[in-house]
Structure 1
Amino acid sequence: MLLLLPPSEGKTPAPEDTGPVDLAALAHPGLTAQRRTVLDALAAVSARDDATELLGVSTNLADEVARNTQLKAAPAGPAAGVYTGVLYGAAGIADLTGDAAERAARTVRIFSGLWGAVAPGDHIPAYRLSMGVSLPDVGPLARAWKPALAAELGPRAAGDVVVDCRSATYVAAWKPSTTGPDAAEWVTVRVVREVDGKRSVVSHNAKHTRGVLAGHLLRRAGEPTSAADVLAAARELEGRVILTEVTTGNTQTLVESTLTALSRPASPRTLELVLR
């Protein structure tokens, strides 16, 4: 299995007494040159007066943008702890131990506009940069990362199942191949809510549900090796209360899991999780 996650928008800085990022120590050393290029371009942009505009963030985040200028010296912590938010809270990757932690280290890759893709244990500083940004002298990041990510992750995915929990912004940086020498089974995850027999796509709760699924895939006894295995793992969660809404106290339960047929050779199959 190769489990692809998006980064979180919010990031938790590492403790001040931890060392800085070591680019050579991050997973996928083939990405090092591109990481260095993007890191330098981000520092230059973040020092500009129009930095928040160029990075597409609110002026309220000016302090976080300013922090981008010092990332080479900033304290770095495990990616599983730096990335926070709904999906990561539900998955609990930072809390894994034993076999589950080892599985996460091998299988989880977190996509990033700055680092390309990192493993949960890779030590990185907190930063502010989305894959949807276009940096001067680099260009649109999704396009800039494509060649290096394909070279690194294509062979890793070959013959395996790729469980894709990323948003479209990060999917644009690398799409698993479903044909040719690097062919893999590619499964994207969609979450819908059923009310009075009608189903609609959900957003905030979808992140939580994908996190629950990711945590289950890492903790269960067997590691999925096919799309059918992923469907079987999802069905183990059916009947379980996935979340409780804070404002209303209402619960949402996973009631059904389905896997679409392959519609086109280069397209993914979709694992649909139905909440009620």
Structure 2
Amino acid sequence: MLVLLPPSETKAAGGDGPPLDLDALSCPELTPTRRKLAEALRSLADDVPASLSALGLSPRQSGEVERNAALFDSPTAPALERYTGVLFDALDVASLTAAERARADARLAVGSALFGLVRGGDPIPAYRLSAGSSLPGFGTLRGVWRPVLEPVLRESGEPVVDLRSGAYAALARVPGAIDVQVLAENAQGERKVVSHHNKSHKGRLARVLATTTTEPTSVDDVIDLARQADMHVERPAETSLTIVIPT
């Protein structure tokens, strides 16, 4: 099973891996597009005001442009250690055993505006590029990635659980993927979409699916594993799941 995670805007600094080698990343079919975007992002960093504008950043975030300037020179870290934030806190890869981490690296992948898709163990540097950004000469990143990324996901042959947020899901559609929504339910039975808990519970589900010793292959497997982890899961449609959080 392949579990698609959204990236985070925030990235952990540092790393102990060698500088970025695009040829070392998973899905070599994506390498030409990755290279074009990475080189464009690195070149754009020479013009700080233009970078801030293209990336939707404020002058106080100029450090993010410095990261892009060092894209090919800075150390790398495995993707599951590079991304930070609520979802990745709940995933908590640092606490996994060696066997669990191996399964997580094999089953988890992160949708990326820069790399398209990275597997859990792929070595990447810190960078800043969001799905909604528009690099000069490229148009929308959705237009860049869809033609090359959708075939890769379609031809992988793996059942997919799609935990990506809307902007990243738009970079590549995955027909038949299991999509997951998180809703909060109050005492009156009223439900609403939440943000913080959405990321946290998706991180919990990703951890369950990544570490189980059995290989999940169906919607039913996902439901069973989530319920074993004391998650309240409903199935409103054939390939849609809802995690309900009482408030």
Q: Which interval holds the TM-score relative to the shorter structure?
A: over 0.9
The AA in structure 2 aligned to 1:214 is: A
1:223 Cα deviation after fit: 2.1
Normalised TM-score (structure 2): 0.93
Which blocks of at least 5 consecutive residues in structure 1 are unaligned?
179-185, 239-253, 263-268
Q: Which runs of at least 4 in structure 1 moved beyond 3 Å after TM superposition?
A: none
Distance 1:162 1:89 in 2: 22
Instruction: State the TM-score, normalizing by the size of structure 1.
Output: 0.84
2:242 aligned with 1:272, yes or no? Answer: yes
Cα distance in 2 for residues equivalent to 1:118 and 1:97 = 21
Q: Is the contact between residue 41 and residue 138 of structure 1 (CA under 8 Å) also seen in structure 2?
A: no
Matches of 1:64 and 1:221, distance apart in 2: 39
**Larger mean Cα displacement after TM superposition, 73-82 or 99-108:** 99-108
Contact 1:79 1:124 in 2 (8 A): yes
Among candidates 183, 198, 201, match of residue 192 of structure 1: 183
- 1:85 matched to 2:85: yes
Task: Determine the C-alpha separation between the residues in 1 that align with 2:95 and 2:113.
Answer: 25
User: Which SS does the other structure have where 1:114 is aligned?
Assistant: coil
Q: Which residue of structure 2 lines up, in the alignment, with residue 257 of structure 1?
A: 233
Q: Which moved more, 1:88-97 or 1:33-42?
A: 88-97
SS across alignment from 1:260: strand
- Point out which structure has higher relative CO (alpha carbons under 8 A, 6+ apart): 2
Could you say what secondary structure the match of 1:71 adopts?
coil
User: In 1, are the aligned partners of 2:183 and 2:191 still within 8 Å (CA)?
Assistant: yes
Instruction: Tell me the alpha carbon deviations over residues 102-127 of structure 1, each in whole angstroms, 9 at most, x when there is no partner.
Output: 22222211011111110111111100
> SS of the residue aligned with 1:104?
helix
Asked if 1:204 is matched to 2:204, the reply is no
- Hey, what's the Cα distance between the residues in 2 that align with 1:59 and 1:236? 47
For 2:120, the aligned partner's letter is: P
State, as a whole percentage, how many aligned pairs show the same letter: 41
Whichever residue aligns with residue 27 of structure 1, its letter is: S
Deviations 1:220-242 (A, max 9, x none): 2322101111111111122xxxx
**Distance in 1, Cα, partners of 2:36 & 2:95:** 32
Alignment coverage as a number of residue pairs: 244
Greater helix content = 2
RMSD: 1.5
Q: What do the CA deviations read for 1:197-255 (whole angstroms, capped 9, x no partner)?
A: 211111011101100111011222322101111111111122xxxxxxxxxxxxxxx4x
Task: Write out aligned runs for 1:22-61 (5 A).
Answer: 22-48=21-47, 49-61=49-61
Note the C-alpha offset of 1:94.
4.3
SS at match of 1:193: strand
Aligned residue among 167, 170, 179 for 1:169: 167
